[in-house]
Copies of this chain bind each other. A is one copy, B any other.
């Protein structure tokens, strides 16, 4: 069974409680370990806060859309906003050092990149930006990939 769950919500941080809960519930159902569960939830929240803040600029009329695709052996999460995107190629080449205390910001993408197995950005001209997060799951989780506990 292709377990795809979609959730769409206005660009308001208030809704991130829901995202956190849904994410936790889906990942728990995939029988991931505790560390993996945390890594996925943290990364999805980072992607969503970027979508709300940088993508949709907190405009509540613009939605954020998250697609969770539970495939055998991996979980793919797509986070879409309606913004213009950014020059992610050059950003990814020079990700700032996260341990630098001079910087109060700029750790979101670093965290996603280091916690997930794959991170992809895509600008859909006139259509927003899509961030794709992938996590490989252990073999036992692959079989459970069909559903949620």
Residues of A within 8 A of B (CB): 1-10, 12, 14-15, 17-18, 21-22, 25-26, 29, 60-61, 63, 147-149
Q: What separation, in Å, do the CA atoms of A15 and B1 have in the docked complex?
A: 13
Given contacts A21-B25, A22-B22, A25-B21, contact A4 B10 (CB under 8 A): yes
- CB pair A5–B8 under 8 Å, yes or no, is yes
- CB pair A14–B149 under 8 Å, yes or no, is yes
Query: Which of B1, B14, B21, B29 is in CB contact (< 8 Å) with A21?
Result: B21
CB-defined contacts of A7 to chain B, threshold 8 Å: 5-8, 22
Number of copies: 2
Q: What separation, in Å, do the CA atoms of A15 and B22 have in the docked complex?
A: 10
- CB pair B26–A18 under 8 Å, yes or no, is yes
- CB pair A18–B5 under 8 Å, yes or no, is yes
- CB pair A147–B12 under 8 Å, yes or no, is yes
Given contacts A7-B7, A8-B6, A22-B22, contact A149 B17 (CB under 8 A): yes
Q: What separation, in Å, do the CA atoms of A44 and B6 have in the docked complex?
A: 17
